[in-house]
Structures are given as structure tokens and as C-alpha cells.
Amino acid sequence: MTTSRIKMFNELFSELEDCNEEEQKQKIEEMNGLMEEMDEKELISVIIKELFNRILKMIEEKKLTMGNAILLLKHMGYCKALKKIMTLFFERSSLNKRFKKMIIDENEKKEGKDEKLMADLCECIFLISHLFLTLPKELYGICVPCLLNVALKKEKDEETQKEVEMALFAFSCISRYYQIEKELYLKEITEIIKYHQEHHNLTRLAYQSAWKFLMDRLLQESSLEDTIVNELHFEREARREVEELSKGVDWKKKEEEMGETERKAMDIISRWFGPIGYYFYSCHLWNEEYVELISRIVDLFRASRDNHSEISEQCINLFAEITKNKAIQNGSLLKSGVVDLFLEEMAQRTLNGVSVQKWKEFICALSKSLKEKANEENSEAVLKKTNRQIFDKLEEEGYEDAIISIQKIKHFSFRVFDLGSSLNISDCFIII
């Protein structure tokens, strides 16, 4: 079937230049359907430099209309970004340069500016470039407002929702390491998120994409904290989205047994880990909703640990990140159930090396957090009391057994995964 999909895609592509515009569109829709069915390996085999060169040549020779080229390329980028495929063929192609020039030329027109064409070209570039998106500052200044204008559409019909989803998904591909002036996006992205919270007009992927873009900016712009925490209520929204998406998944099934709807829900859940992780890494305004969000991640771990290791390992990564956040009170770690979950996991004798390493990172991060907070002058007595509660809980409910469990398999797992920290896990919990 793999060979068949690739072969069919290439055959359809080779037939495009001999078709009229309507026939081209029909074949491209078939190609788009094939790309949706392809796995990462298959998609990589068709998104190659030669493909982009041929598309450009066909456009220049008027054998492929620009509208149909965009129809193919936009969906290609959408599938590439969804599957998180990393290739640089488009970025190094002449087609990429041509599209960038077209955007600039269109923007410079005094009259008759084609906003839809500009948005389509921006989406193609952002989506196909994905993790390697780099643009001149001038182009960000054109593309960001252009995509936001599309994303601000508020109609609930399916066609508009798809347009908005594509624009926001493309928007979310802007690197978190690229700083964009707040004046270009903050008012609009805040309006988009607030409007959805009240009217539920976005798809789940579109809503997650809006948050991803905003949380990526937080890494560079700490002044966004107040908007994210107190105005847009990230913790509440992330908790609700993860909770509702989880209800749509039968976690007892293995991934290959799941239907398309369940797989899509899992994919969006996985995508929420990025914004949540950036949030705990970058945001230091305490909010009581922290506990509920962490509790939902604990629930998600329990649901996914048997059949979906990728999700459960992402959960453990978040637990380690959470303990590093100085705004989180130690008592909240008890309330959220993370400490109970750690003990529950360490009681297992079947943990693999990756899981042990990730739990080791969590407990060492927790130990460091407890020590640091116990030494703070202003609330030393209160914190020591909380730390003692955590320590007593670990001793009472099996911490020593947990140490033994880790040490039994540490020689394999830590030899492979440890990056230099102490192998003596019992040293991690000298707290008081």
C-alpha cells in the first residue's frame, strides 16, 4: 500500500501538465487525499526538491495555474506540519524565493491588492517551511497582519472554520526564537482567543494553534504573563481542552486500533504539551488553577501509560518542568497527585529505561525545589512543614521501595540515558 500511494501520487502529478484547469484541480484533490493517508516516511519521499522545481517550471510555462499550485502546496504544507516532518527542500528552492517576491510585490501595490493571494502564499511558506521558517523582517511585517485578518473571521460555517484553522496553524509555525513586536499581533490574537471562549467558533486545532503562537512569544516577552494568566486564563483553557479531548479517546485501544477521530484527538492532545511546557517554564504568576491543570495531566498519564508511551512520557517531562517553576507551591504538588503517581509508578517492576530516566529527572527536580524553597527566609517554617509532609508521605508509602526499584535497573537505564547527574538516586532526597 505504501508503494501504491507514492506511485499514485507521482503518476497524478506527472499528468497535471496535460490537463485543463478543472481537470488539474480534480487530480490535485486526489493527491491531497493521498498525502493525508501517507505516513511520515511516505510523505518525505514525495516532498522533494525536484517536485518544487517542477512546480515552478510548470507555473512559468503556464502549464499549471497559480490557484491550483497553491491548492497543492498549501495542503502539502498542512500535512507536513501536522506530521512534524523536517526537510529543507522547499526553503532552498527557487519556488520559495518566487513566492516571497510575489508577496512583497503584491503588498507594494497602491491599488487592487490581492489579500487572498497574499494570505495563500504566506500559508504555503509558513506551513511547508514549518520548523525551519526564516523570513526577512519585512515579510513578517506583511504576513503576520495578513494571516490575522483571515483568522479574525467569526462565522461558524465549515468553509470559514477551515480557512481560519489553516491561517492559525500556519501562524503557529513561526519559530519561538523569532521575536515579533507585540503591536503586530497581541490585540488580534487576544480577540481571537476571547471570542472563541465565548462563542466556540474555532476548531480544536485552530484554538490550540492560537495558544501555541502566544505561548511561543512568552519565551521572548515576559510582559505577556498577565494577559495569559489573568485575562485569557491559560490554565483553565488548557485543562478543559485536554480533559474534553481525552474523553473522545478509548485509551484501552492501541493506536493502530483507533479510528480517525480518536487519532486526531490524540494528536491535538500531544500538541498541547508544547504550550503547557512553555507555560510552566516561562510563567511565574501563581494561580490556583495550576493544581487543576496538573491534576488533569496526572489523569492523562494514568489513561495513556499502558498503550500510548509517547503521550505518557510527555506527561512525565511536564511533571519535571512543573517542579522547577518557583511560583508553584509545594503543597500544590501534594494536592495535584503527582507525588502519589510517582510512588505508584516506582512500585512497578516493569518500567523501561526511558521511563525510569524521566521519573529520575522528576524526583531530582522535586528534591531541588523542596530544598530551595525550604531555605527561603520569609516562609521557611511553613515550607519546612510542607516539605516534611511530602517527605513523610514518601517514606510512609514506599519511597524506600521506589529507591530500590530505580536502583535495580539504573545500571542499564542510566548508563544509556544519564547526561552527567549523580547515579545515586537516594542522594536526591536529602531535604531537611
* pLDDT single digits (tens) 119-152: 999 999 999 987 667 778 889 999 999 999 999 9
Q: Which residues contact 185 (CB under 8 A, 6 or more apart)?
A: 144, 148, 213, 217
If you ran DSSP here, which 8-state letter would residue 229 be given? I
Per-residue pLDDT, 346: 75
Q: Which residues contact 159 (CB under 8 A, 6 or more apart)?
A: none
Per-residue pLDDT, 341: 86
Cα 178 from Cα 184, distance rounded (Å): 13
Cα 38 from Cα 46, distance rounded (Å): 10
Asked if 122 and 143 count as a contact pair (C-beta separation under 8 A), the reply is: yes
Q: What is the dihedral of CA 127, 132, 138, 140, to 10 degrees?
A: 50
Burial group, residue 339, by CB count within 10 angstroms (0-12, 13-18, 19+): buried
Per-residue pLDDT, 366: 76
Burial group, residue 110, by CB count within 10 angstroms (0-12, 13-18, 19+): exposed
Q: Note down pLDDT in tens along the chain; length 432 residues.
A: 556 999 999 999 999 999 999 999 999 999 999 999 999 999 999 999 999 999 999 999 999 999 999 999 999 999 999 998 888 889 889 999 999 999 999 999 989 899 999 999 999 999 998 766 777 888 999 999 999 999 999 999 999 999 999 999 999 998 888 888 999 999 999 999 999 999 999 999 999 999 999 999 988 888 999 999 999 999 999 999 999 999 999 999 998 899 999 999 999 999 999 999 988 888 877 677 788 999 999 999 999 999 998 999 899 889 888 887 777 766 777 788 888 888 788 777 566 666 777 777 777 777 777 666 665 544 555 445 555 665 565 555 555 555 555 555 444 333 333 433 443 444 444 443
Per-residue pLDDT, 344: 81
Q: Which residues contact 392 (CB under 8 A, 6 or more apart)?
A: none
Q: Which residues contact 427 (CB under 8 A, 6 or more apart)?
A: none
Cα 51 from Cα 9, distance rounded (Å): 11
Cα 302 from Cα 298, distance rounded (Å): 6
* Helical pair 289-304 and 338-346, crossing angle rounded to 10 deg: 20
Tell me: the pLDDT tens digits for 7-66?
A: 999 999 999 999 999 999 999 999 999 999 999 999 999 999 999 999 999 999 999 999
Asked if 337 and 295 count as a contact pair (C-beta separation under 8 A), the reply is: yes
Q: Output the nine-digit C-alpha cell for 350.
A: 516493569
Cα 234 from Cα 173, distance rounded (Å): 20
SS3 per-residue string spanning 27-55: HHHHHHHHHHHCCHHHHHHHCCHHHHHHH
Cα 77 from Cα 73, distance rounded (Å): 6
Per-residue pLDDT, 284: 79
Asked if 289 and 334 count as a contact pair (C-beta separation under 8 A), the reply is: no
* Percent of the chain residues past pLDDT 70, beyond the cut: 82
Asked if 290 and 275 count as a contact pair (C-beta separation under 8 A), the reply is: no
